[in-house]
Chains A and B, each alone.
Chain A
Amino acid sequence: MSSLTTPSQETARPAPGRGRGFGGQLRALFSRPASAGGTILVVLFLLLAILGSWLAPYGENEQIFADARQPPSLEHPFGTDRLGRDVFSRVLLGAQDIFLLAGLGTLLSVISGTFFGLVAGYAGGWTDELIMRFFDSLLAIPALLLALLLLGTVGPSRNSIFIVIVVVYTPIIARVVRSVVLGVKSQGFVEAARTQGEPLPSILLFEILPSVLPALAVEAALRFSYAIFLVASLGFLGVGVQPPNADWGLMVNEARHNVSQTPWALYFPAAAIALLVIGVNLMADGLKRVLQPEVE
């Protein structure tokens, strides 16, 4: 008799986060410990990235030969590596790099993904098929493999890392945007705008895009965390940021040869990667609960 015991639930539940302004949404985000912690972590790292060059006690490649291979101490909170570089300073300075590469890369892929998603979803038909099937074929290749392939052809540089992030994440973001567009484009307010002769760009930007933004914000945060990981992975594999730059992934790679003598030189950048990725993920999860309560 299971079929009879399904109650029809009619009473309206106020959607959390909807119907409150930005302040209310921020409060909702901070009402859960996990999302609050994640957001604080991300903000902390962001501050470190911005203020890193002032806070760092030593330069990026400043070598203090006398202090080489020192364990963490008051003078060198994270110790020094085998070349006598201050790990704390390098982790601080590396934050800047990772935010710049992963952040800007994510931003670029959000822009291109939104563009293609809007166009594919709104136009439908052959345009949609063409764009989305091409993206599907990109998605069929594992992200890291695709990245290695691209970097192998264009050679490692900052610009090529941006290109890699954009190529890898545009299809995913375009998919998310397209799915929202499909739901919105047949709604009354979009069709009314069409019957009133609104030009296409203004329909896409002013009528449809605002409805896409919540999903886009959540997806962007998620992509950012993956991008951090991708940049770090590329650095570790030696095809990303090149030595002697302070890149977390690169630092992990360099330190792993001396892990028995200077384990701290490996632990601290690795921990930084893990903490930031976890932080961004928790924040993305919180954003999702606030901005897309219906998905939960």
Chain B
Amino acid sequence: MSEQRPPVLAIRDLTVAYRSRGAWLQAVRDVSLQIMAGERVGLVGESGSGKSTIALAVMGYLREAARVLAGEIILNGRDLLSLDRSQMRALWGAEMALVPQDPLSALNPSLRIGEQLAEALRLHLGMDRARALERAAELLEMVRIPDPERVVRAYPHQISGGMQQRVMIALALSTEPALLVLDEPTTALDVTTQAAILDLFRDLTEARETAALYVTHNLGVVAEICDRVAVLYAGDLVEEGPVGELFRQPLHPYTHGLLASVPRLEAGRRGVALQSIPGQIPPLGERPPACVYADRCPLAIEICHEVRPPRETPLPGRAVRCHRWEEVLAGALSAPATPPAADGAHVGDADGEGDGAPVLDLDDVEVHFEAPHTIREILARRERPPVRAVDGVSLEIAPGRTLGLVGESGSGKTTLARAVVGLEETTGGEMALFNLPLPSGLSERSEELLSRLQIVFQNPEEALNPYRTVGATLRRPLMRLQGLSREEADAAVARLLEAVRLPASYAYRLPRQLSGGEKQRAAIARAFAADPELLVADEPVSSLDVSVQASILNLLNELQRERDSSTLFISHDLAVVGYLADEIAVMYGGHLMELMPAEGLLTPPHHPYTEVLLAAIPRLDPDAPPRPLPALRASEPGQNVGRTGCPFHPRCPRFLGDICVEQTPPWRAAENGGRIFCHIPLEDLQAAQVEDA
């Protein structure tokens, strides 16, 4: 990365607008960015920040309704904006390539993987068919696909999402392009798969000196793999700099707020309340002409609303658009000393009530799904083993506590949550609420029982009836389950809205007039309208932006304390669970792998699966020592059909041998009160894990 060489990609003063109802609205404004050979630059922003627009503009993929109003995009000395389509076509693949978020929509579903790779090689490198197919297999090996021979002959839908993304990377790199543009390539993948793809991507671009523009909303991913980072907000590039420096000392209040709103796993961070950024990104067409962040900025003064801050370069390699960066640098925004009361408080509460009956008591709960039989199987009266989504889970939640349930997709965590609230019938085991048996399925439960258990779902867009006002939605459970009159219910609606920090006027709004975070608040209000003793929150923040996510997590925390309820919090994100929960349950293949107090999350011994999860989480702290991902035996989980032994044995990095395949592991009690489901004695696990770390 010598400074003399010209940059591979130089974006100068790029302004892109979208046409909407006859007007051109600027989605990206005066953005400048350079990428050197071998440099990985992260482009971070929340939804609506314009990050994808920039990526598409660079690739020349902007839609009809979008126009580049000003600026230039220079790739190896050529201005891409002056090229026509056929000239661009010569560059696509050869000099620049895109790895999109959804590989399945980018791969041709009717061509075998090998053919697709070979097509690119023949077109750009003029290889003959036989040579190209041979090279295709080599490329698949390069992206660490375990059995390239099979994948070459497979169709895209026959391989998993992680494998598809590896194929996309192989395809993008097949012609050795100078620039790689990655648009959220790992967002749809599980953390362990993401970690493997990021490792791969880092190694490959390093070896080839490929310049990469990495578009993502995930700050942790940027910290893990990028050299420099550019932060976008509402179409403005507000700050830019080397990853380490920028994360250690952000100069823009937005970057500062963003970093403070992400839950972190690092030691000593537990219990520190997350800061959230009030408000939301202004929609296209309503963006302030001066500083775009002024409306949400804690440091905004008069000038911020009147004059657009110029792009300044206060330190070498850094750039910022803020009138008051000097004050930020001087510490004007350093986190107010929030007492770690948030967690400490309710941990204390629970200890007092510890002897009461558990709110929820699950004993060996099973949810098996009958697999559909083919006609031949019906005729032969052959039984097909059921899909064991939840396969014998036992756990307890004490009053006032939060149990965090973590697992990757397919672990059965959502099925378990649905079984608890009655949306899924259990096929075995017992459930009890305050020692009262909890029947399986909604129809068996009394209204009184129903109101004691409420759920908040993942997708805020589907959480509220689109044809009903928020007030009407909240009024239903109040009148039906609590028996309030219309007037009382209206008053209660106002109180509920206040509790979830929404203005009372929102009672008259329809869901489409609310932002994603506001919808989720309204959904939480509906759950609390039934005055539940146990709230089941199924990934309630997974589809929200980081800054909004923090405020919802804090809200859940506060409501739980105010209303003295308990929470079963389900997430794929160990950092979020580590922040919110008192106890953590780790689930894999329908079975619990480990149960531990949240304080024990960073201290071994751990179940090998927990160990993998911990290592796979991208960490925000650029100074943190690298945590190598333990070598998984299989990179992705299969379905739990007719499996014996430990569910994790096909992937376990600490696999012992036949015993893991044939025998169900014992539960081993840990010193901190947790338990671990593993054949390896805890002392051995601890010794191995401490040594590896």
Given A1-B120, A3-B116, A8-B100: A14 and B56 interface contact (C-beta under 8 Å)? no
The residue that A189 contacts in the complex, of B61, B63, B458, B465, with Cβ under 8 A, is B465
| A4 pairs with B106, CB closer than 8 A | yes
The residue that A6 contacts in the complex, of B97, B106, B481, with Cβ under 8 A, is B106
A213, closest chain B residue (CB): B467
Given A3-B116, A195-B423, A196-B481: A11 and B27 interface contact (C-beta under 8 Å)? yes
| B455 pairs with A191, CB closer than 8 A | yes
Q: Does A129 touch B at the CB level, under 8 Å?
A: no
Given A8-B183, A192-B457, A195-B442: A2 and B108 interface contact (C-beta under 8 Å)? yes
B53, closest chain A residue (CB): A11
Q: Which residues does chain A contribute within 8 Å of B120, judged by CB atoms?
A: 1, 3-4
| B451 pairs with A197, CB closer than 8 A | yes
| B464 pairs with A189, CB closer than 8 A | yes
Q: Does B530 touch A at the CB level, under 8 Å?
A: yes
B450, closest chain A residue (CB): A197
Q: How far is the CA of A210 from the CA of B523 in the complex (A)?
A: 19
Q: Does A133 touch B at the CB level, under 8 Å?
A: no
The residue that A192 contacts in the complex, of B445, B458, B481, B526, with Cβ under 8 A, is B526
Q: Does A18 touch B at the CB level, under 8 Å?
A: yes
Q: Does B603 touch A at the CB level, under 8 Å?
A: no
| B476 pairs with A7, CB closer than 8 A | no
Given A18-B512, A188-B463: A4 and B454 interface contact (C-beta under 8 Å)? no
A196, closest chain B residue (CB): B477
| A210 pairs with B467, CB closer than 8 A | yes
| B442 pairs with A8, CB closer than 8 A | no
Please encode chain A, from 198 to 220, with 1 for each CB lying within 8 Å of some chain B CB and 0 for all others.
10000000110011000000000
Given A18-B512, A187-B462, A192-B457: A4 and B27 interface contact (C-beta under 8 Å)? no
Q: Does B298 touch A at the CB level, under 8 Å?
A: no
Total number of B residues with any Cβ neighbor in A under 8 Å: 63
Q: How far is the CA of A11 from the CA of B458 in the complex (A)?
A: 22
| Centre residue among B124, B171, B465, B523 by max chain A CB count within 10 A | B465
Total number of A residues with any Cβ neighbor in B under 8 Å: 30
Q: How far is the CA of A194 from the CA of B447 in the complex (A)?
A: 11
B510, closest chain A residue (CB): A19
Q: Which residues does chain A contribute within 8 Å of B106, judged by CB atoms?
A: 3-4, 6, 8
Given A189-B464, A196-B476, A210-B467: A8 and B52 interface contact (C-beta under 8 Å)? yes
Given A8-B52, A11-B27, A207-B465: A3 and B481 interface contact (C-beta under 8 Å)? no
Q: How far is the CA of A206 from the CA of B107 in the complex (A)?
A: 42
| B101 pairs with A3, CB closer than 8 A | no
Q: Which residues does chain A contribute within 8 Å of B89, judged by CB atoms?
A: 5
| B124 pairs with A198, CB closer than 8 A | no
| A197 pairs with B119, CB closer than 8 A | no
Q: Which residues does chain B contribute within 8 Å of A198, judged by CB atoms?
A: 476, 480
Q: Does B422 touch A at the CB level, under 8 Å?
A: yes
| B93 pairs with A196, CB closer than 8 A | no
| B465 pairs with A210, CB closer than 8 A | yes
Q: Which residues does chain B contribute within 8 Å of A196, judged by CB atoms?
A: 450-451, 454, 476-477, 480-481, 526, 530
Please encode chain B, from 37 to 75, with 1 for each CB lying within 8 Å of some chain A CB and 0 for all others.
000000000000000110010010111011000000000
Q: Does A294 touch B at the CB level, under 8 Å?
A: no
| B18 pairs with A195, CB closer than 8 A | no
Q: Does A10 touch B at the CB level, under 8 Å?
A: yes
Q: Which residues of chain B (76-111) have a CB below 8 Å from chain A?
A: 89, 92-93, 97-98, 100-102, 105-108
Q: Smallest distance from the beta carbon of A58 to chain B beta carbons, Å? A: 49
**9 extra interface residue pairs, beta carbon distance < 8 Å, beyond A8-B102, A11-B18, A14-B20:** A1-B124, A4-B106, A4-B171, A5-B89, A6-B105, A188-B463, A188-B464, A195-B423, A197-B451
Binding site for A on B (CB under 8 A): 18, 20, 27, 52-53, 56, 59, 61-63, 65-66, 89, 92-93, 97-98, 100-102, 105-108, 116, 119-120, 123-124, 171-172, 183, 421-423, 442, 445, 447, 450-451, 453-455, 457-459, 462-468, 473, 476-477, 480-481, 512, 523, 526-527, 530
Closest 8 CB pairs of A and B: A7-B61, A210-B467, A188-B457, A187-B462, A188-B463, A8-B100, A1-B93, A197-B450
